Amino acid sequence: MQAESRPVTSNQASLHPKLAKVVQRHLRHPTRKPIAPHNLAAFEALKQRMVEDPRPLVLDSFCGTGQSTAILAQRHENHLVVGIDQSAHRLERHISGTTDNYLLLRAQCEDIWQLILQQQWRVSAHYLLYPNPWPKSAQLQRRIHGHAGFLHLLQMGGKIELRSNWQVYVEEFGLAMWLAGNAGWVSRVEPQSALTLFEEKYRASGHALWRYCGALKVP
């Protein structure tokens, strides 16, 4: 029997008061952090796959066990779906899907995004499913929309969907996207087959699930 999951608790009840300031700073000043060697090594697998079988890309960032990556590969059968997670423990729990059009990388997402941009590849769709919410107010810059790598996410283009069981997180992401000039909408996730193990657990525990959907404008 699956253990019940607790709702997100935070000392932040609404949108972070410094969100706009942080996002605008990152939009003006892209990160200069060097790419870690292990992320460069992981990216080589993707480069080789694109040489052997070039396809439009779909990203599944922070993919956990890769369950969502395998499901998304069925939905995007003419694409290469790339699941990225930094945890070897989670990826080792992956159960292979029924299609061969996906690839799992053990790497940090923000570095892989930057490397994709260096190759001048565009992304057709990008899924960010139940990332760590970093719920403490002091952790804003660890959230996707507060991180210095947010600009790289924007520059890759494509349709984008983020899901979370913390409404504030999704609304913050939506505001960050709006500040960057991208339109989208926030809504409840309708009952359906779960894309991730977390989504399955949260729904079984009675959590309200939220999502942001939109499309990124790139030059």
Question: Where does the chain show beta strands of DSSP type E?
Answer: 57-61, 80-85, 102-106, 123-129, 158-164, 184-188, 210-216
In the structure encoding, which two tokens stand for residue 113, read together? Answer: 């995004």
CATH number at residue 165: 3.40.50.150
| Predicted confidence (pLDDT) per residue in 175-212, tens digit | 999 999 999 999 999 888 899 999 999 999 999 999 99
Rounded Cα distance between 96 and 29, Å, is: 40
What length does the chain have? 219
Q: What is the mean pLDDT of the chain?
A: 94
Please check whether residue 129 lies inside any domain of the structure: yes
Q: Is the pLDDT of residue 3 over 70?
A: no
120, 96 contact by CB (below 8 A): no
Please check whether residue 9 lies inside any domain of the structure: no
pLDDT band at 13 (very low <50, low <70, confident <90, very high): confident
Rounded Cα distance between 126 and 218, Å, is: 14
The pLDDT assigned to 125 comes to 98
Query: Does an H or E element contain 32, and which?
Result: none
Structural domain count of the chain:
1
Please check whether residue 115 lies inside any domain of the structure: yes
Range of the domain at 202: 19-29+38-216
Please check whether residue 117 lies inside any domain of the structure: yes
Edge-to-edge strands, sheet with 184-188: 102-106, 80-85, 57-61, 123-129, 158-164, 210-216, 184-188
3-class secondary-structure state, position 217: coil
Please check whether residue 8 lies inside any domain of the structure: no
Please check whether residue 13 lies inside any domain of the structure: no
Please check whether residue 11 lies inside any domain of the structure: no
The pLDDT assigned to 1 comes to 39
Please check whether residue 6 lies inside any domain of the structure: no
